[in-house]
Structure 1
Amino acid sequence: MTHNRRSISVAFAGAALLISSSATGAQAATDVTTIIVPAATDTADLTPVDLRDLTTLANQTDTPLSDIVEEYGPNHDFSVAVDTIAERYPDQFAASVYANGPGEVSSVSFVGAVPPPVIDMLAGLAVDVRLEGGYALSAVAAEEVADAAVTTLRRESNNTDFIAAGSADPRTGVVDVKTSVVMPSGALALAAESAQDVVDAEGLSVEVDLAAQVDEDLFFETE
């Protein structure tokens, strides 16, 4: 894919520095689709191995097994299903959230449209699941984009004690980086371009924004 890169703009937002590879910045998810897969049962579908693990947890925490199964069983089934989906659709799977609070709904999100087979893959769970399409980055691409930005910042730093960490939002494509020292805007612009190069290589129509913030405690967080 050939990407017509726009001039890079720089803007301050509070203590954070925003580097944008487009005139308008990173866009929110477009063409968002939502599908609700209702819970099919009130109980989790546990294998003997699952039940053994939950029994061990119940014994260790001195909690009734029925309470452990009710709390962790659906979460386990959801996690297994999500792992299968992420493995089968690495270029489309973007994110997942297991929600067990009152009124909350678990969700699985994708780049582009929701793959139809996913509905059947989640249909047997004991929890409602909201499927969302239209995210900017897959989970794999988000990790690669953040890694590219951080790697560039480390290369551009002349400080041997320099620490950097970053993550990319699969929904918007915004890359958040924290650095242990102030980095010049030129280095941040190069980091944004490195992140954009990864997106271009994936063939995605996403304009990357890089939001940078200095965190003097970063060393202790990442040690």
Structure 2
Amino acid sequence: MPVQDFAPGLAVQGFTPPLSLQDFKLVAFDMDSTLINIECVDEIADAVGRKEEVAAITEAAMRGEIADYKESLRRRVKLLAGVTVADMEQVYTERLQLNPGAEKLVQACKAAGMTVLLVSGGFTFFTDRIRDRLGIDYTRSNVLEVRSGANCGELTGYLVDQPRGDICDGAEKRKMLLETCARLGISPKQAIAVGDGANDLPMMGEAGLSVAYHAKPAVRAQAMVAIDEGGLDRLLEVVSP
């Protein structure tokens, strides 16, 4: 079904606005380039002069041109070896910003009684802070290994295994959405999923409402709502508080 313009920079397909947040019980957000303005892995790589190389892999992965997301992330993380925790702190304080409308949309969802989930192919160093900053209920992301002993405080270039596995990819985002719905006793059709890259498509495909925010073309084409101009809170133009 073709995407139809609803307002300048805002398009919908598959339903007739307006809907109501009261119809939904869960909202799941991607983080990098969705809730926040940067791809954290690219900015971390800048500290060791490898931003261009890492960003090229990130862009290909987000466009869906790299089939194995996990391998693409391992390649990028390998290039982060030697980055310090202080470097990451600088990325957070000097480069990372919430995207326009992010806080307003999260607050509106919480006011409507919705649970908020953050699922990211990024890293806990950042997702934990965004969780606390926005009052998010649940998160799932990846853990960067930090060297101990000599050169402590530096990234090793590897990820830490977690009980759920070492990497949160598209399949894991989908699984987290479905498991959170089951925990809440709701249908996935009572969930909203918001993202921008190809690894968000699996969870967006399960949700009752899928939202593409300044997204890659393949994601925009499949989403029920496409926000191409303005902030995340433009969703409230088609899904009323």
Going by fraction, where is helix more abundant, 1 or 2?
A: 2
- Higher CA-based Rg: 1
Instruction: Provide TM-score, normalisation by structure 1.
Output: 0.27
